[in-house]
Amino acid sequence: MDFTQAFSGPFCTMMLADNGARVIKIEKKITGDMLRDAGPFDDDHNSLYFASGNRGKESVELDLTDSNDIALVKAIIKDADILVENFRPGVMAKLGLSYEDVIKINPKIIYTSISGFGQTGPRKHEPGFDMIAQGYSGLMSVNGELHGKALRVGVSIGDMNGGLFAYMGTMTALYAREKNEKGSHVDISMTDGLFALMPPQVANYSNTGKIETTCGNAHPAIAPFGVVATADGEIIISILGKKLWHAFCDLINRPEIEMDERFKTNELRLKNRNEFRKIERPILKTKTSDEWISLFQKAGIPCARINNIKEACEMEQIKARNMLCKAGDYILAGNPMKMSGYSDDYVKGKIPDLGEHTDKIRNEFK
């Protein structure tokens, strides 16, 4: 059962649907999921944002303050394996659908809660959208131009990361139930999830007191590693370890800098990054991006173009991995989990209209 809206919860339940689960989405009467009103929109003013997180689900339009609709919900819960919700802590309890309430109906259910700050702690009742989590977690403080202002990550990473952790927690609990026959309450905080994405930064502060800040398109701990300018644009190069450092120095025809006392180790290259850039930048400006990409690839040096969304969608690698799919009338990002023995069909479940399956579900669970 899917009681989620916005994006963190729907992203979790869409992955469940993509991987074979039947997902019954409970939506508020008349208005439905709040993302149905969020752009971008197609020509018929249907939300593409909503479509991107809700394929393959059944939509049931209910009034959760109506006793008859609550009775229907409880009938569905009785047969459900999983319940996912992303209200603020306490909202489900007011509806009589807290974890404690639900396990009286179905003791083995996996009940997953996603919220801004989790089910415990002094901030648990505060609302938490993606950018709130990005700010509180510390993630924004390390994202931005070198020594510049903190910037939000350009995608809703707090939402999607929360959905990913919710999916992983849900499936872990479901597997554990196969062993111990016990249900579980999975408690996911979007802020926790983003905090967990920064192990080196947390370790650095916790053990040395150093506070990392924005470092632009350079890697905070490895050099040379990041975006570099070419004759006609920019590319990414990644030099990690002695083998790649040797290959890089050889490729740019500057073997003498490999053992230069300023650059012999990664630590020294970080310390003297600005001096190294004075050598590196004029050299990389002598060839086009395509020329450098070809040379780096032949030398086994990790590198990449910086694609826009059009270019990424048109990459042969994306097509070969079936990372675009058709859901009803839409082309959407595909399922990144590829598992042998399981199909990864190009055509996925359609996007449900609000309340499209209400009558069907009422008849099934009456």
Provide the pLDDT for residue 339.
95
47, β-bridge pairs:
41
* Active-site annotation holder among 45, 125, 185, 219: 219
Residue positions counted in the chain: 366
Q: pLDDT tens digits for 145-176? A: 988 999 999 999 999 999 999 999 999 999 99
Provide the pLDDT for residue 103.
98
40: cis peptide before it, omega within 30°? yes
Q: Which of 307, 330, 352 is the last residue of a domain?
A: 307
pLDDT, mean of residues 83-98: 97
pLDDT band at 182 (very low <50, low <70, confident <90, very high): very high
Residue 61 and residue 182 in one domain: yes
Q: Would residue 208 count as lying in a domain? A: no
Q: Would residue 213 count as lying in a domain? A: no
- Say what percent of the chain tops pLDDT 90: 99
Q: Would residue 218 count as lying in a domain? A: no
Q: Would residue 214 count as lying in a domain? A: no
N-to-C CA span, the chain = 16
pLDDT, mean of residues 72-92: 98
pLDDT band at 366 (very low <50, low <70, confident <90, very high): confident
Q: How far apart are the C-alpha atoms of 287 and 184, rounded to whole Å?
A: 57
Provide the pLDDT for residue 317.
97
HEC profile for 93-161? HHCCCCHHHHHHHCCCCEEEEEECCCCCCCCCCCCCCHHHHHHHHCHHHHCCCCCCCCCCCCCCHHHHH
Residue 334 and residue 283 in one domain: no
Q: Which two tokens stand for residue 274?
A: 């600005």
Residue 82 and residue 178 in one domain: yes
Residue 104 has pLDDT above 90, yes or no: yes
Residue 33 and residue 170 in one domain: yes
Residue 38 and residue 159 in one domain: yes
Residue 229 and residue 349 in one domain: no
Q: Would residue 206 count as lying in a domain? A: no
Provide the pLDDT for residue 147.
86
State the residue range of the domain holding 31. 2-197+322-364
Q: pLDDT tens digits for 223-259? A: 999 999 999 999 999 999 999 999 999 999 999 999 9
pLDDT, mean of residues 307-314: 97
Average pLDDT, the chain: 97
Provide the pLDDT for residue 67.
96
Q: pLDDT tens digits for 197-208? A: 999 999 999 999
Q: Would residue 209 count as lying in a domain? A: no
CATH number at residue 229: 3.30.1540.10
Total structural domains in the chain?
A: 2
Residue 53 and residue 131 in one domain: yes
Q: Would residue 156 count as lying in a domain? A: yes
Residue 301 and residue 326 in one domain: no
Q: pLDDT tens digits for 10-63? A: 999 999 999 999 999 999 999 999 999 999 999 999 999 999 999 999 999 999
Going by DSSP bridges, is the β-strand pair 82-85/2-3 parallel, antiparallel, or unpaired?
parallel
Nearest CA-CA partner of 83 in 118, 53, 108: 108
Q: Do the Cβ atoms of 39 and 47 come closer than 8 Å? A: yes
CATH number at residue 356: 3.40.50.10540
Q: How far apart are the C-alpha atoms of 21 and 286, rounded to whole Å?
A: 54
pLDDT band at 120 (very low <50, low <70, confident <90, very high): very high
- Is residue 125 part of the annotated active site? The answer reads no
Provide the pLDDT for residue 74.
98
Contacts of 42 (CB under 8 A, 6+ apart): 48, 329, 330
Return the H-helix or E-strand segment holding 26: strand 23-28
Provide the pLDDT for residue 93.
98
Residue 136 and residue 96 in one domain: yes
Residue 69 and residue 169 in one domain: yes
Provide the pLDDT for residue 171.
98
Residue 190 and residue 96 in one domain: yes
Q: Would residue 314 count as lying in a domain? A: no
Residue 179 and residue 234 in one domain: no
Residue 261 has pLDDT above 90, yes or no: yes
